[in-house]
């Protein structure tokens, strides 16, 4: 049986049973606990010409009618596991990715006085970040910062800062210098904002005022966005300097207004998006995560899709973390599958987005994910939380995670390849982009370290904890089960995965054709 058939047999589509939860003690969550040429369809300045071939009806209002607008990622081309491709047709491989669904296009006004106004968020930004500075300087400097006659500048929240990221950028990868790689594209719109690469092309962190709720390997972390390599993570503040873009305007951008619809879905009345309350329950490769959401029929709707990077970032709750609240970094209304991480500790997983992460050397072989649990790294011979729950990094879309026993990169970022999916609906024009040209900057072949093969589904990471398997010993499928683990009591239902019964959090697995 091939991988896709195996996955199909274990995809979870059942509604959550009443009273089941992933909170410690099995308590039921309450609302109080939470939080080139231009394409005519996308109307994005860098899109390839394409033809819309499908319109999907949606009853959920788009972000434009909500309390705050989620700015689109700006990704205008489609990709497979390695390179750019014409955007696929419905039902085809890799259908449902970022560029196929139009959101609110990035839109700015240069005010001619050193400030930039974001026409989506209504926030005003300083155009020039200036020289890098220490975090304490960045915090204290806001009070004395005066630009264009305004004195009410402040350090942005991570959601405000992340609204500026554009995934039409390219990670410099192994480029030794900007002179050696003159075609580099950063992850911020340089038509409006000043940006320059440093001596290390991949190191251009812009800092926010949002701390990590947990504890990183190097102590307390503060979230920031690296507009050079297209990541967002928790940074240790001592002995490191950052770029600063001060902002002014109405505070509260990105504040959620979640509502439990009682049917296995959560609506965010602030963004206009509706979310699947649970997740895929099984870690998937990127292509399969796209297909999972596209084929999902849930709570009476069939217009589900894998969220793009900006959308998924919008539901992060940075006040929550496994270290402090024993939860994923998400509002308590959401159900998140527990895992055992690389260090053998109870944790929560990484979640795929529909957004490809582009690299000058590796082309389009990676996609963006968010760590809703610890963002693990292999440092000084052991695994630790290096970037914090809420970090955004990227994984190969396909391959064998066993090929990365000590992670990769200078901080040993954990490579899982198999990540979870949490599907979303609403927030788009309803039109789907298909066909068109391929991205001319993403046509190289990835190096030998990124084989284009499907990953095995039996890796230890992302599997349920051992207690979940023990809880179903001697039981039959679809019978009630419970177990105790470090996060408390977990109630569930015994379901079969790969010939073994495992206690899953209150779901029943239907047969999928």
State pLDDT tens for residues 280-332.
999 999 999 999 999 999 999 999 999 999 999 999 999 999 999 999 999 99
Is the pLDDT assigned to residue 434 strictly greater than 90? yes
352 and 472 share a domain? no
Number of domains in the chain: 2
Query: Which of 17-21, 150-154, 310-314, 469-473 bottoms out in mean pLDDT, i.e. has the lowest?
Result: 17-21
432: phi then psi, degrees, rounded to nearest 5: -120, 130
**Is residue 105 located within the same domain as residue 180?**
yes
Q: pLDDT value at position 497?
A: 60
* Strand arrangement, sheet containing 247-248: 108-110, 115-118, 124-126, 247-248
Least confident of 130-139, 262-271, 304-313, 433-442: 433-442
260: tokens are 């439990």
Antiparallel, parallel or unpaired: β 51-55 and 431-434: antiparallel
Confidence bin at 489 (pLDDT 50/70/90): low
Confidence (pLDDT) at 395: 96
Q: What is the pLDDT of residue 301?
A: 96
Q: Which residues pair with 371 in a beta bridge?
A: 350
Residue 157 and residue 306 share a domain = yes
Does residue 216 carry a pLDDT above 80?
A: no
Q: Which of 169, 158, 136, 273 is nearest to 210 (CA)?
A: 158
Q: Are residues 145 and 236 in the same domain?
A: yes
More confident residue, 435 or 50: 435
Residue 373 and residue 482 in one domain? no
The answer as to whether 274 is a domain residue is: yes
What does residue 145 show for φ and ψ, rounded to 5 degrees?
Answer: -75, 125
260/183 same-domain check: yes
Please check whether residues 156 and 265 belong to one and the same domain: yes
Provide the percentage of residues in the chain whose pLDDT is more than 70: 79
Residue 158 lies in a domain: yes
* DSSP-derived secondary structure for 48-116: PP-EEEEE----SPPGGGSSSPPBP----SEE-SSSEEPBPPTTSTTTT-GGGB--B---EEE-SSSEE
Local structure of residue 47 (DSSP, 8 states): P
What are residue 247's DSSP bridge partners? 125, 154
Q: How confident is the model at residue 463, as a pLDDT?
A: 58
Please indicate, yes or no, if residue 11 is contained in any of the structural domains. no
Q: Are residues 116 and 194 in the same domain?
A: yes
Residue 511 reports pLDDT greater than 70: no
Are residues 400 and 500 located together in one domain of the fold? no
Instruction: Give yes or no: residues 351 and 237 share one domain.
Output: yes
CA-nearest of 139, 210, 237 to 391 is 210
At residue 485, the pLDDT reads: 62
For residues 460 and 169, the model is more confident at 169
The domain containing residue 494 runs over which residues?
466-504
Looking at residue 506, what is its pLDDT?
53
Query: Is 5 among the domain residues?
Result: no
Tokens of 259: 């509502």
Could you tell me if 81 and 88 are in contact, meaning their C-beta atoms sit under 8 angstroms apart?
no
Band (19; pLDDT cuts 50, 70, 90):
very low
Section 17-37 average pLDDT = 32
Of 414, 434, 454, which residue constitutes the final position of a domain? Answer: 434
At residue 400, the pLDDT reads 93
What is d(CA 505, CA 492) in angstroms, rounded to the nearest whole number?
Answer: 4
Exposed e or buried b for every residue in 363-390, given b needs 16+ CB within 10 A?
A: bbbbbbbbbbbbbbbbbeeebbbbbbbb
478 and 366 share one domain: no
Domain boundary pick from 419, 434, 449:
434
In this predicted structure, the answer to whether residue 495 has a pLDDT above a threshold of 60 is yes
Asked if the structure places residue 456 within a domain, the reply is no
- In the structure, what pLDDT confidence band is assigned to residue 199 with cuts at 50, 70 and 90? confident
- pLDDT (tens digit, 9 = 90+) per residue, 338-364? 999 999 999 999 999 999 999 877 689
235 pLDDT more than 50: yes
Least confident of 34-48, 54-68, 278-292, 359-373: 34-48
Q: Which of 111-115, 224-228, 452-456 has the lowest mean pLDDT?
A: 452-456
pLDDT at 330: 97
265-270: average pLDDT: 97
Residue 5 CA, chain-centre distance (Å), reads 26
pLDDT of residue 51: 35
Between these two residues, 78 and 15, which has the higher pLDDT value? 78
- Look at 7-11, 115-119, 220-224, 230-234 and tell me which has the smallest mean pLDDT: 7-11
53 in Cβ contact with 435 (< 8 Å): yes
User: Of the ranges 153-157, 224-228, 309-313, 465-469, which one carries the lowest mean pLDDT score?
Assistant: 465-469
Q: How far apart are CA 236 and CA 206, in angstroms?
A: 13
Percent of the chain topping pLDDT 90: 64
Which candidate, 340, 311, 316, places its Cα nearest to that of 328?
Answer: 316
The last residue of one of the domains, among 389, 414, 434, is: 434
pTM over 0.75: yes
According to the model, what pLDDT value does residue 510 have? 37
Instruction: Report if residue 440 sits inside a domain.
Output: no
- Per-residue pLDDT band for 428 (boundaries 50, 70, 90) equals confident
For residue 395, the Cα-to-chain-centroid distance in whole angstroms is 11
Among the residues of 330-440, which ranges form H helices? none
Binned at pLDDT 50, 70 and 90, residue 178 comes out as confident
Nearest C-alpha neighbor of 420 from the set 493, 334, 503, 499: 334
For the chain, give the mean pLDDT: 82
CA dihedral sign, ordered 369, 310, 215, 393: positive
Whether residue 448 is predicted with pLDDT greater than 80 in this model: the reply is no
Report residue 266: phi and psi, to 5°: -125, 125
Assess whether pLDDT exceeds 70 at residue 135: yes
Among 315-329, 431-445, 474-488, which range has the highest average pLDDT? 315-329
**CB contact set of 379 (below 8 Å; sequence gap of 6+):** 217, 386, 411, 412
Q: Is 326 left (phi over 0), alpha (psi -120 to 50) or beta?
A: left
CA distance 414 to 364: 19
pLDDT higher at 34 or 319: 319
Output the six-digit token pair for 295. Answer: 């084929």
Look at 424 and 48; give whichever has higher pLDDT: 424
User: Alpha helices of 395-472 — where are they, by DSSP H?
Assistant: 466-470
Q: Does the pLDDT of residue 17 top 50, yes or no?
A: no
Is 205 found in the same domain as 334? Answer: yes
Confidence of residue 123 (pLDDT cuts 50, 70, 90): very high
Residue 155 inside a domain? The answer is yes
Does residue 237 fall inside a structural domain? yes
What pLDDT score was predicted for residue 35? 32
């Amino acid at each position: 049986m091939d991988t896709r058939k195996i996955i199909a047999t274990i995809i979870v589509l059942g509604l959550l049973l009443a009273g089941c939860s992933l909170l410690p003690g099995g308590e039921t969550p309450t609302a109080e606990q939470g939080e080139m040429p231009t394409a005519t369809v996308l109307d994005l300045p860098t899109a390839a010409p394409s033809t819309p071939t499908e319109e999907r009806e949606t009853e959920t209002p788009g972000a434009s009618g909500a309390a705050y607008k989620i700015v689109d990622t700006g990704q205008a081309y489609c990709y497979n596991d390695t390179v750019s491709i014409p955007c696929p047709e419905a039902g085809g491989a890799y259908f449902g990715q970022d560029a196929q669904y139009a959101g609110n296009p990035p839109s700015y006004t240069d005010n001619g006085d050193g400030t930039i106004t974001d026409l989506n968020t209504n926030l005003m930004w300083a155009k020039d970040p200036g020289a890098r500075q220490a975090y304490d300087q960045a915090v204290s400097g806001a009070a004395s910062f005066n630009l264009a006659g305004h004195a009410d500048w402040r350090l942005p929240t991570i959601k405000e800062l992340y609204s500026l990221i554009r995934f039409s950028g390219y990670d410099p990868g192994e480029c030794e210098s900007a002179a050696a790689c003159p075609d580099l594209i950063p992850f911020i719109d340089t038509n409006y904002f000043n940006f320059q690469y440093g001596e290390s092309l991949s190191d251009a962190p812009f800092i926010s005022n949002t701390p990590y709720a947990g504890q990183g390997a190097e102590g307390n972390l503060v979230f920031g966005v690296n507009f050079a390599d297209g990541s967002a993570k928790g940074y240790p503040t001592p002995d490191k300097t950052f770029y600063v873009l001060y902002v002014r305007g109405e505070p509260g951008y990105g504040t959620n207004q979640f509502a439990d619809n009682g049917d296995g879905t959560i609506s965010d009345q602030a963004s206009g998006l509706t979310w699947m309350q649970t997740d895929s329950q099984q870690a998937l490769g990127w292509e399969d995560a796209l297909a999972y959401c596209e084929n999902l029929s849930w709570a009476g709707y069939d217009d589900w899709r894998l969220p793009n990077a900006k959308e998924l970032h919008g539901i992060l709750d940075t006040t929550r973390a496994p270290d402090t609240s024993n939860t994923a970094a998400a509002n308590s209304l959401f159900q998140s599958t527990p895992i055992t991480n690389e260090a053998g500790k109870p944790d929560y997983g990484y979640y795929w987005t529909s957004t490809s992460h582009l690299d000058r050397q590796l082309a389009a072989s990676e996609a963006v994910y968010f760590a809703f649990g610890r963002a693990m790294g292999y440092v000084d011979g052991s695994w630790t939380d290096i970037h914090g729950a809420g970090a955004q990094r990227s994984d190969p879309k396909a391959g064998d995670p066993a090929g990365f026993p000590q992670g990769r990169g200078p901080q040993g970022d954990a490579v899982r390849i198999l990540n979870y999916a949490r599907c979303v609906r609403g927030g788009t024009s309803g039109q789907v982009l298909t066909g068109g040209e391929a991205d001319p900057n993403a046509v190289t072949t990835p190096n030998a370290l990124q084989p284009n093969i499907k990953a095995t589904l039996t890796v230890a990471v992302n599997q349920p904890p051992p207690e979940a398997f023990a809880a179903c010993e001697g039981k039959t499928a679809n019978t009630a089960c419970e177990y105790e683990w470090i996060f408390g009591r977990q109630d569930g239902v015994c379901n079969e995965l790969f010939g073994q019964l495992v206690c899953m959090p209150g779901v029943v697995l239907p047969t999928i054709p």
